[in-house]
């Protein structure tokens, strides 16, 4: 058995099966976050440059139809940047709920151990409390980190929306100067 698997297996035993669910949600959440970072740094910037070039190559920049077309193009580009936000928010909201499920299942383990009347009740109670607190802590930690990323991404999207409009207007002014 690889050395890296042993601590993970002990953690899964201590936290119960709900902790594995939280880990899967966390992997999915952080994979989506990494994808958004990659998209913003590479694909979005290329698409933004193509949009600015397409806009500046037009001869008409001032008519109602040209301004509407510019708005449609910018909204499409910003919409691609926003696309995974609902999924990210869903995964962030799911983490504390899974943590709460871990709390409930851990407390059931505690009460089950106490009702069995085992000789070593303190040990059964400690195991159940660990099963209750580890998923709760994990769910909240993943949710907080995910929430920080989502709020940062929303800030970046608002800033990029404004910058894109400013860049398109500035590109037209530079072309006419």
CB under 8 Å to 172, separation ≥6 — which residues?
55, 56, 61
Determine the pLDDT at residue 176: 65
The number of beta carbons lying within 10 Å of the beta carbon of residue 138 is 23
The two structure tokens encoding residue 157: 């999207």
The predicted structure's pLDDT at residue 169: 84
Regions of the chain with pLDDT less than 70: 1, 116-121, 124, 175-177
Domain count, the chain: 1
Could you tell me if 101 and 57 are in contact, meaning their C-beta atoms sit under 8 angstroms apart?
Answer: no
* Average model confidence (pLDDT) across the chain: 87
Instruction: List, for residues 3-34, the tens digit of each pLDDT value.
Output: 878 877 887 777 778 888 999 999 999 999 99
What's the domain range around 111?
A: 5-176
Q: What is the pLDDT of residue 118?
A: 59
Quickly list DSSP for 96-119.
HHHHHHHHHHHHHHHHHHHHTT-S
Retrieve residue 129's tokens: 């409390």
**Alpha-carbon 25 to chain mean position:** 10
Q: Minimal CA–CA distance to 62: which of 168, 167, 161?
A: 168
Residue 15 in tokens: 């936290």
Using CA atoms, how far apart are residues 156 and 162, in angstroms rounded to an integer?
Answer: 10
Give the model's pLDDT for residue 119: 58
């Amino acid at each position: 058995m690889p050395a890296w698997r042993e601590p993970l297996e002990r953690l899964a035993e201590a936290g119960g099966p709900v902790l594995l669910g939280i880990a899967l949600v966390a992997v999915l959440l952080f994979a989506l976050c990494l994808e958004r970072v990659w998209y913003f740094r590479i694909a979005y910037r290329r698409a933004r440059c193509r949009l600015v070039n397409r806009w500046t190559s037009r001869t008409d920049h001032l008519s109602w139809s040209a301004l509407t077309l510019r708005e449609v193009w910018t909204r499409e580009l910003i919409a691609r940047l926003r696309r995974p936000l609902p999924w990210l928010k869903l995964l962030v909201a799911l983490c504390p709920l899974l943590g709460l499920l871990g709390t409930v299942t851990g407390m059931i383990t505690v009460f089950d151990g106490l009702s069995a009347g085992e000789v070593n009740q303190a040990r059964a109670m400690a195991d159940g409390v660990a099963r209750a607190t580890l998923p709760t802590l994990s769910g909240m930690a993943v949710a907080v980190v995910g929430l920080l990323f989502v709020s940062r991404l929303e800030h970046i999207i608002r800033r990029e929306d404004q910058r894109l409009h400013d860049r398109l207007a500035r590109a037209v002014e530079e072309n006419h100067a």
